[in-house]
Amino acid sequence: MGGYSRTMDPIPLLPRRYPTTVTSIDYRNSSDYNMVYLQQQLDQQVKYNFDLQAQIQELTSEFAKKEEEINNLKARIFKKDQEIDILRDDKKGKEDDFTKKRRRRGLSPSQPRKQQKKREKVVEKRKPNPPESTMDYSKTLVNLFKKGAEASNSSIKKNLESKEIKEEDTS
């Protein structure tokens, strides 16, 4: 016979009935037991409802705070938009010198400005070194091989001289 766990079903509506054998006596059917059980369930339900009401009050207060913050931010944004509109209106009212001159000449201020050509400075520029791609690579390779051969020859000569000196010292 299985036991009843209240954690599985926190608020059952009716008490569970378990199958009974012929030899066992089931006292759960008595009216006293049912009344006690129903009273316990009612107490649990009332406690659960109070907990839910407390959570609801906390959430509504948090919601009200967030709503107030949102309204404050909206008000700030509205003020900034008004300031931007005021600045735009001020800017539209003023004309810069260029548009004033164009109006005097009879030109529309909406025409784009002509790009002024930059005056080229007459300065002699240095001629850059020729790029490496134009150099004759065969000549450079030959020169490198010659230098490498000379270096290796000189090191071989030094080694031979040092061996000869050692042989003379030993003899």
Closest residue by Cα to residue 40 from 61, 79, 12, 65:
12
Residues 75 and 1 in one domain: yes
Residues 149 and 67 in one domain: no
Whether residue 81 is contained in a domain is answered as: yes
Res 115: pLDDT: 57
Residues 72 and 145 in one domain: no
Residues 148 and 66 in one domain: no
Q: How many Cβ atoms from other residues are within 10 Å of residue 148's Cβ?
A: 10
Res 30: pLDDT: 64
Whether residue 76 is contained in a domain is answered as: yes
Q: For each successive 10 residues of the chain (171 residues), what is the average pLDDT? A: 51 52 54 78 92 93 95 94 83 65 64 59 64 62 78 80 77 63
Whether residue 34 is contained in a domain is answered as: yes
DSSP letter for 135, please.
Answer: S
Res 121: pLDDT: 62
Res 113: pLDDT: 57
pTM score > 0.85 for this model? no
Range list of H helices, 94-125: 97-105
Res 50: pLDDT: 92
Res 7: pLDDT: 52
Res 149: pLDDT: 80
Whether residue 103 is contained in a domain is answered as: no
**Contact status, residue 4 vs residue 16, Cβ threshold 8 Å:** yes
Res 162: pLDDT: 82
Whether residue 122 is contained in a domain is answered as: no
Measured over the CA atoms of residue 70, residue 74, residue 75 and residue 77, the dihedral's sign is positive
Residues 144 and 88 in one domain: no
Res 1: pLDDT: 45
How many structural domains are present in the chain? 2
Domain C-terminal end among 37, 65, 95: 95
- Domain range for residue 160? 140-171
